[in-house]
Amino acid sequence: MIHKKVIIAEDTINGIVEESNRHENVETGGLLFGKIIGEYIIILKTIHLSTNAKRTQIYFEMDEDFAINITKQMEKNNLAYLGNWHKHLGYGGPSNGDDKQAELFLIQNSHKRNYLSLIIDFYNNDYNLIATNYYFDEDEFRKKDIQIQRIVNIRELNNIFKRKRLNIRNFIDNLSKNIEVHTGKTFIHSQSNQLKNYKLCYEEIYDLHNSESMSKNKIVYSVFIKFPDLNISMADKISIGVTLDHKFTRIVEEIPFSDIFFNIVELLPKIKNIFNKSQYYIKILLHSDDKQENNDFKNRLKIVNIIFSTLKSLSVFNIHNAKAKNVN
């Protein structure tokens, strides 16, 4: 196995120090979430708030139900459970108990290849960070001290990984599941035959019964997320946008893939926003029709108001529903 390395941002370390100071003279800890890319274990999020945790001078035990729930939530956001951090009161690296706990975790969760333990060891008025990677090599349980690379903030990740290419099939599958959970909308996956483009797309059809002069009385409005390739470079951009009647396209935003992959930019609120603003985008797209068919355009303008009222009554995205789903 290649030697792993941990990347952690100063903000995250500050959070760990703060939480440690909140529980004076006892051990405390939390969960670590993030990504593993090649030899890098990247900590992107820590969770400390564990009200039912047991804290003593030599012992810290987390509320297991809480941990399982949080992990499920994080996985929905494409963040993997990496391991735990916990505080030591000046006795150095992992104890036998810590090692045993890591071993047990890897045995019980055989789909996990690594378990990261981050210890913040306080002595005098200072602290030391100790990272240990646990894993099974063949059938042998292994433990390795690993290097910690401190970065100022997670934006630095864009520089570290800009040349890295990734297969993003799993990422896209997770993303579409996540969108479905939060919006109730199922995005269809499609890959272009000629190009390498991969697209997630959601269509809504609006019936325009009241428009006598229209040659057709249905309008197809779709929201898409387009990836340039399934094998993507971190510097590649993905585009989100809307299409009307499969003809008129507007790209709403292009975002570097790394920003999304490292959760620097959240895609979900952007998608929700496109649904919320669909009236606005339909109007723009109808205008773009202007040059081609002037007469048809006039007719279409007439029906803009009709579309608006249809959209309103359909309530393209119901925030209250999504929130309720989220809680469950």
Stretch that binds Zn ion, among 96-104, 158-166, 186-194, 264-272 (CB under 5 A): 96-104
Between 91 and 280, name the residue whose CB sits nearer to Zn ion. 91
Cα 60 from Cα 66, distance rounded (Å): 15
Q: How far is the CB of 39 from Zn ion (least distance, A)?
A: 25
Contact between 61 and Zn ion per CB under 5 A: no
Contact 179, 39 (CB under 8 A): no
* Axis crossing angle, helix 319-327 with helix 169-183, rounded to the nearest 10: 110
Contact between 95 and Zn ion per CB under 5 A: yes
How many amino acids of this chain bind Zn ion (CB under 5 A)? 2
Between 95 and 279, name the residue whose CB sits nearer to Zn ion. 95
Contact 118, 94 (CB under 8 A): no
- Residue 240: strand, helix, or coil: strand
Stretch that binds Zn ion, among 93-101, 138-146, 170-178, 205-213 (CB under 5 A): 93-101
Contact between 98 and Zn ion per CB under 5 A: yes
Contact between 279 and Zn ion per CB under 5 A: no
Over the window 118 to 147, marking each residue x when it contacts Zn ion by CB under 5 A and - when it does not, the resulting string is: ------------------------------
Q: In the block, which residue shows the tokens 């952007």?
A: 270
Stretch that binds Zn ion, among 12-20, 98-106, 127-135, 216-224 (CB under 5 A): 98-106
Q: How far is the CB of 127 from Zn ion (least distance, A)?
A: 14
DSSP 64-129: HHHHHHHHHHHHHTT-EEEEEEEEESSS-S--HHHHHHHHHHHHH-TT--EEEEEEEEEETTEEEE
User: Which parts of this chain interact with Zn ion (CB under 5 A)?
Assistant: 95, 98
